[in-house]
Amino acid sequence: MAGIEHIEVEPDEAGMRLDRWFKVHFPGLGFGQLQKLMRSGQVRVDGGRVKTDARVQPGQMVRVPPLDVDAKGPKSGPIAGSDLKHSGDAELLARMLLHEDDKVYVLNKPAGLAVQGGSGLTRHIDKMLEAWTNKKGEKPRLVHRLDRDTSGVLVVARTRGAAQKLTAAFRERDTKKTYWSLVKGVPRKHEDKISTWLVKEATPDGDRMRIAKHGEEDADHAISYYRVLETAAQSLAWLEMEPYTGRTHQLRVHALHMGHPIIGDPKYFDDDPNWDFPGGVQKRLHLHARHIDIPHPNGGRLRVTAPLPPHMVQTWNLLGLDMASAGEPDDE
């Protein structure tokens, strides 16, 4: 057991919640233990008392009392493609963890990792969650999905009862999901609602959704909302998008339907010889599940925000897009 430490917050930890900071540096420290240390004032930031949801900034000093846990066991920071191949399930899940309590985990899913299995998939989150099976033999349960190429907030239930309540919240649309995207061009209306019918069709490149006519067989109604947060040289727009319904590829198809497909979308962004793909921007899907607001199984609301994946951070920096200008939802 080490003595009192004062650890400086690193530049890549800017804006990280203090409880998440401890999860990264001291993965063996339980949330309950941390709360006790906070309440008794043993954990301080720049000498002052703080709460677990405080946001740390580079250069701040975190006072860490003696802890009977291992320091910084697993690797921290953004999850790269090599990590997905070589890191263990429990380690990867711990690095994705944004929120943990007795009923719910919230993960920040990296782009490129599937949520569920499919043909040719050797690794997916549903299978990885077996590493977090509890002493009763209960494996955490998925309650919603994200596309493989979409990063961001993924809610996971820790118990059967929690899964039932969370699933009902999604079904009854008592959730608010906010996505950030970067699209080609700038929509004429800076805020609007998109309402269409969608149907799945098989293509040589796999299943794809398309706009359908009202009444078309197997078509589902889909509603999305968007607003423009910022633009770059009138050739790109940063959108905040909210799906009211939860159809497959809904936001991606609706962006295409507007005439403003999401940058780097492998299914719905067609190369245009009259439009230059921005230099320095990776050809990866620029769609991120940024924030969720959902009823907590124990009562009240759970609100969690996920940091952008590395390829989108790179793009935002390249284009000079100011994340602070969007305003941040309040997490609890």
Active site residues: 147
The SS3 assignment for 234 reads coil
Cβ(154)–Cβ(113) below 8 Å: no
Tokens 């390829």 belong to residue: 311
C-alpha gyration radius of the chain: 21
3-state secondary structure 74-143: CCCCCCCHHHHHHCCHHHHHHHHEEEECCCEEEEEECCCCECCCCCCCCCEHHHHHHHHCCCCCCCCEEC
| Count of other CB atoms within 10 angstroms of residue 141 | 17
The whole-angstrom separation of Cα 321 and Cα 305 is: 18
Tokens 């301080």 belong to residue: 44
